Structure 1
Amino acid sequence: MARGTKLDLSFGSFGNGWEVDDLCPKCGENRSECICNNEKKILTPAEHRLVFKREKRRGKPVTLVGEFFIDKDEIKSLLKSIKKSLGSGGTFKDGWMELQGEKADVVRPLLQNAGYRFKK
């Protein structure tokens, strides 16, 4: 930047940066971060179209299955039975079932027996 030139500090249409969101009465979060209206619809197992993803976490393979749209109690019981039959650990986060190891070929028949369907 040349000496003697002014730096343009106008914010344009972004505002001055000091606006404050009002709070949602249901969840208490800021309106811009509110999750109340993003509640997911609960589907029957036959209406699901699940996909598999493989990732590495800390150098170890993880199988992701999802996205599930079922009740929390149902997913806990389903996850518990799958983990018991696989003999490995896992968890449920953000609608996705995370299982330790590469287990897609073993998990698919278990979920199909429970009535779930998969994308091809």
Structure 2
Amino acid sequence: MKSLEDQLRNLFPEHQPSESPDIEEKGDLWLQEEPLICKYEKRKGKPITIIEGYTGADSDFKILAKEIKQLLSVGGSFKNETIIIQGDYRDKIMKFLKEKGFNVKRVGG
């Protein structure tokens, strides 16, 4: 069985593969001067953590939401320029964001 590279060479004989692929790294998020706001609420009797105040691109904020959800192994969503995480994880989220280089402000409680 031929490898994928061999199959691609047969299909595109003139193509010269580049050494470094142009893939964007996840660690290249835009860092802002204003602090992100991390707050706690209860909705329908269940605790949630809300992160808001990001002024960069929505795609960067979505990547950040995904990383937080994977770090904590919890559910959550990205809506209306806010990240909503199920459960009260303010301390862990604030520590994670500070390690990434963000300024974080705790609001409420």
SS at structure 2 position matched to 1:64: strand
Amino acid paired to 1:93: K
CA displacement 1:42-101 (0-9 Å, x = unmatched): xx4241312222111111001111211121211121111110010001112222211100
Number of matched pairs: 77
Runs of 5+ consecutive residues of structure 1 not aligned to the other structure: 1-43
Three-state SS of the structure 1 residue aligned to 2:104 is coil
Distance between the aligned counterparts of 1:105 and 1:92, measured in 2? Answer: 20
| Structure number having the greater strand percentage | 2
Q: CA RMSD in A?
A: 1.5
Structure 2, unaligned runs of 5 or more: 1-29
For the pair shown, which has the larger CA radius of gyration, 1 or 2?
Answer: 1
Q: 1:61 aligns with which of 36, 42, 47?
A: 47
Amino acid at match of 1:88: V
Cα distance in 2 for residues equivalent to 1:51 and 1:73? 18
1:94 corresponding residue in structure 2: 80
**Are the equivalent residues in 2 in contact too, given 1:46–1:115 (CA < 8 A)?**
no
Percent pairwise identity? 34
**Structure 2 counterpart of 1:80, from 50, 61, 66:** 66
Question: Which amino acid in the other structure matches residue 111 of structure 1?
Answer: L
Tell whether the 8 Å contact from 2:32 to 2:56 is kept in structure 1 after alignment: no
TM-score (norm 2): 0.63
| Distance of 2:37 and 2:63 partners within structure 1 | 20
